[in-house]
Structure 1
Amino acid sequence: MSSSSGRWTYKLDNNAHQDLALGESHTETMLVTVTDDKGATTTQQVVVTVEGTNDKPVLTSQPQSGAVKEDDVLFVRGQVTATDVDHGAVLTYTPDSLQGKYGAFTLNSGAGTWTYTLDNNAHQDLALGEHHTEVMLVTLTDEHGAKVTQQVKVEVTGTNDRPVISSGIQSETVKEDDVLFVRGQVTATDVDHGAVLTYTPDAVKGQYGTFTLNKSSGAWTYKLDNNAHQALALGEHHTETMLVTVTDEHGAKTTQQVSVEVQGTNDKPVITSQPQSGTVKEDDVLFVRGQVTATDVDHGAVLTYSPDNLQGHYGSFTLNPSSGTWTYTLDNNAHQALALGEQHTETLLVTVTDENGSTTTQQVTVEVQGTNDKPVISSGVQSETVKEDATLFVRGQVTATDVDHGAVLTYTPDSLKGQYGTFTLNKASGAWTYKLDNAAHQALAEGEHHTETLLVTVTDEHGAKTTQQVTVEVEGTNDKPVITSSAQAETVKEDDVLTASGQVTASDVDHGAVLTYSAPQGELTGAYGSFTLNPSSGAWHYKLDNSAHQALALGEYHTETLHVTVTDDKGAITTQDVVVTVEALMTSLSSLAQLNLGR
């Protein structure tokens, strides 16, 4: 400040006030005193306002870097840090991109902490010693938009991956006197950049031929020495193998086996057995056996015996596929049509096959001789039912067959007379009837049965025979009871004869029938007295109540009636009325009896 002119200046120290934030201010003041030459004074205040501005953040963290390694270290972390001199500054951390080529970053927007995780599958193509740098640019921004950046770097280091076989199974076939040469190729891949693969064999010389192998491409060949393997029989096999090792430039390796199957050829078998024949006879010799044999000059040859058809017309063959032994079993049912002296020849063609399919054949013959056969019943079960007072007649037919040509059959009965009816039988056809004598079987109760039987014998012209039984079931029905008691009519008399008794009786032709006697409950008590009734015997009793009928005048009478029902054990019924005449004193008994009998 000039002391003579009063001119003043203010110079801001730019370093000292950086902590003033945007919008923040501070007042600097200076009091100036003006004095004249006599010492009189006056004052004025000089005021300078210092205003803050926004300062951008300043990084405080070291350079951010890390390292991960394929199949080893897959994770790394760090932190970007910064300061801002402005009072109350708020910093935010944002990435340019979180996704790298071989993995992914994370970033905490408030603290600046970060991680990187390596995707172990994604970076397998990095070779041993090969590097790749993943970069994430982190921007720090204060609340007013001022920003600063720091780069985070992660170095991804590759390792050596071993080769992977990509070719299919290496398997081929050569054949004696036929296919003498085969080829193929073992292939492999290596995900590492610039990998160089080399193919090497364990051995190229086989037992029956020789391999070649291209060390750069993996292409191989096998050539069969046709003279060396002639001892192999048809179906005999030998496998030649070569183990191919695939190695990359760093020594990592994998293997694949090459297989070549060597097949021999065959000589056909020769039959050594005599002609094969035999004889069987119906109902007598049912079984015969033999054996077809053969040889094969090939060492280790295995022969198999197979039939053209094991099923014959009248029986069946069996054949052992290993030994050639055969059997023939006559089906005793199938050949019954052969008559006595008739013959049939069964044949079996046996094919001898070695393990390689060469064949030779021999025929087996069996003669089948017939005999006489007895008839065979062909009708179903002969069983019918007749019923008392309902079905009185049934019929049926016994039938039979005889497989022998021209057989003549006759049907004869044991007895035609039954207990309750009579059979008839047609001797030529086997047709039969049964007629029930309805009067003879009334004693059969309902549910009671009786079986009539007829044994029918069927005989052929040579006397061979068979039988069938005819059965007819006779069923009873329920017959209702029949009243056997006389009319039930009695008289009682006022002050004289006060009781009367009697019995209702009945019979039932059915075996074991049980009869029950009953009356309506309301009829047991009459106007002038009461009845009792024995339910088992039908015996009844009437007792006059002498005081109840005193009102009857001279010559007056009254009839009490009880309706008795007789029921058998199957529910069939019959009825009889019991009538008791009640007379007043001095009533004519003869006239009352006549009246009751008339009722």
Structure 2
Amino acid sequence: NTTPTAVADAGDATEKGGVANGSGGVVASGNVLTNDTDPDAGDTKTVTAIKFGATSGTLGSALAGTYGSLVLNASGAYSYAVNETNAAVQALRLSTNTLSEVFSYTMRDTAGATATANLTVTIHGANDAPVLAVQTTTQNATVGSAFSFVVPTTTFTDVDSGETLAYAATAADGTALPAWLSFNATTRTFSGTPTAGGTYGVKVTATDLGGLAANETFNIAVSVPGNTTPTAVADAGDATEKGGVANGSGGAVASGNVLTNDTDPDSGDTKTVTAVVFGATSGTLGSALAGTYGSLVLNASGAYSYAVNETNAAVQALRLSTNTLSEVFSYTMRDTAGATATANLTVTIHGANDAP
């Protein structure tokens, strides 16, 4: 019997890109035995072993490498899937940006003679969209006084190495900024002198070199000189999960008004909610904003209601009223002259006994 010859193989995979790895991606696949040779007539070739470094794998099962995992079958057929959570993989911006790793395999012929060769997998990059990392809070300005605000470089991030972001700004609804306000895209700076009080919504868009973008909206609250800034006071609400058979009984929605305990010393001033946020996620007044354990609807009037997510496992695990979970939303309110204040609304979810 003549010993067979195992010939080195190469495969190419591509990471996913776009928004939240939502597009593209290619698995490397092929057959390592195709280019292996055996001069003995009638001999068959079979893969008998697979290794990554010092780690031996099992044929037909995934063997983890540094940047992904390989499944190699005894027939020689293989597939390599990229690990999309690997930071080095995500940092690849272009198809020409690559990483590679090497697996070794052993094959044998019918008579039992063996040979070993390498399979080198090259991972190619793909453009990932930037993301909003830190939501900008409401910025305060005063009529007749110069205003300036620099959007921090940490507001948006992009996992791709060597990425450059270009910035642009409009009003929150996509129209032009108010006449008194300008935006320098190079320095990311808003500047101008307000001419009238009120709340101005602005939208900042960050676009990467590949044309993918992320954006945020925030408010510039312009107050009138002589106006006293209102005080927003923290609020608390209590909700109860449903219990009984198949969540068929009980349950209480948390409700109230976040403006009731807020104060403003200026006579005649009214108070209005202008924004609501959960973590880094901005909500829309009058619409449900999802938290971890339920969703909050907060209106401009300050009235709110919080409904428990009865499908949440952590909520359902609460057995007694004294067993609780809590989550925090923040809201911004303003007075008639445009001055703003921010406070938190903490909702506590109480348990209820569920039937077996």
TM-score range, shorter chain: 0.3 to 0.5
Higher-RCO chain (CA-CA 8 Å, sequence separation at least 6): 2
> Of the two, which has the highest radius of gyration?
1
Instruction: Report the TM-score when normalising by structure 2.
Output: 0.47
The TM-score normalised by the length of structure 1 is 0.30
